[in-house]
Amino acid sequence: MKAGKLLIFGIVSMSVFILDAQINQAQTLNATTDGQITLKVDTDGGGIVDPPTEGGGGTIVPPVVPPVVGDKDLALIYYPTFDFGTHDYTGAAAKYYAQPLTGTVDGISVVRPQFVQIRNSSNVSQWNLKVTAGQFMAQNGTNKPIPGMLMTLNDVNKTNNTENGGSAVVANQTLPLTPGQAQTIGTYNNTEITGTSRNSFMFGMPGNVTAENYKGVQLDIPGSLELDNAKYLANITWTLADTL
C-alpha cells in the first residue's frame, strides 16, 4: 500500500462551479462545488462514470461531470451535488428531498439515485470514505448561519462494478449529516485484490427512480426560523483516505 494518501473535496447542494482542483507535493487533493436551496418567505401568514449495476447499466453521462480527484491508484470518479429546489417557507417545519441524478445512457434520458464512486488499483488494499456537512448560510450578503437545517443520506447502499477487485462495505444505511460531524459512508479492505475495483455508494435504493418518488437525500427545516428570501448554501466535504 502507498504511504497515507488523503483525498478531500467539498460539495454544496446545487450548482456546480469548480473552484479548485489541484495536487500538491503532499498528495492532498481539493475540489469544491456549490449548491443551494432557495426559500421564499410567506409574508402573509440543483462525468461520464460507470453507474451502479442495478437500475439500468450502461455508461451514464450526468448533466455536469466533476473532475476526477486522485490518480491511477486511488480516485474519486464521481461525486454528487444536491439540489433541493425552491420552496415557500411559512414558518412551519418542512421536509424536502434533493433531485435524483438525471443523465443519458446511450442517448436515452435516465434517472438514478445520487451516488459517489471510488476507484482503486491493486496498489491500494484499503480505504475509507467520510462526509462532513457545514451549516446552511444565507447568500444575500449577510452570510447568516441557519441552525437546525439537517441533511440526511437515506438508504445508503453500494455496488461493485468490477471483478477480482473486491467490494466495499456500507457503514450505515442512514447518515444524518449533523454540521461539523464526520460520518463514515463506507470502507474497503481487500489484501488479495488482483485488479481494479470500482465501488459506488448510492443514496436511495435503485429501481424505478423518478423526481417525484426519490427520497435518497433529505433536508429537514425546523419551524419558527427567521429567514429571508434567499439562497442557502451548505458545504459538504467528502474525505477519502487509504487507511481504515
The pLDDT profile of the chain, 244 residues, written as one tens digit per residue, is 444 555 544 444 332 222 222 323 323 344 444 344 665 554 332 234 554 444 334 556 666 778 888 899 999 888 888 888 989 888 999 999 999 988 777 788 888 899 999 999 999 999 999 998 889 988 888 888 999 999 999 999 998 877 667 789 999 999 999 999 999 999 999 888 888 888 999 999 888 888 899 999 999 999 999 888 888 888 888 889 998 7
Within 8 A by CB and 6+ apart from 44, the residues are none
For the chain, what is the domain count? 1
Q: What is the pLDDT of residue 39?
A: 53
Q: Does residue 98 form part of some domain?
A: yes
Going 162 to 165 to 171 to 176, the CA torsion angle's sign is negative
The residue with cell 411559512 is: 90
- Rounded to whole angstroms, the Cα distance separating 6 from 177 reads 21
* C-alpha cell recorded at residue 229: 428570501
Q: How many residues does the chain have?
A: 244
Q: What is the pLDDT of residue 114?
A: 92
Q: What is the pLDDT of residue 37?
A: 64
Domain that holds residue 231: 6-241
The residue with cell 441533511 is: 151
Q: Does residue 216 form part of some domain?
A: yes
Q: What is the pLDDT of residue 193?
A: 82
Q: What is the pLDDT of residue 92?
A: 92
- Rounded to whole angstroms, the Cα distance separating 46 from 13 reads 7
In this structure, the number of other CB atoms found within 10 A of the CB of residue 190 comes to 17
Q: What is the DSSP letter of 49?
A: B
- Rounded to whole angstroms, the Cα distance separating 77 from 52 reads 13
The residue with cell 458545504 is: 235
- Rounded to whole angstroms, the Cα distance separating 39 from 36 reads 10
Q: Does residue 101 form part of some domain?
A: yes
- Rounded to whole angstroms, the Cα distance separating 124 from 52 reads 21
Contact 130, 185 (CB under 8 A): yes
Q: Does residue 1 form part of some domain?
A: no
Q: Does residue 23 form part of some domain?
A: yes
Phi, psi of 141 (to 5 degrees): 100, -15
Q: Does residue 88 form part of some domain?
A: yes
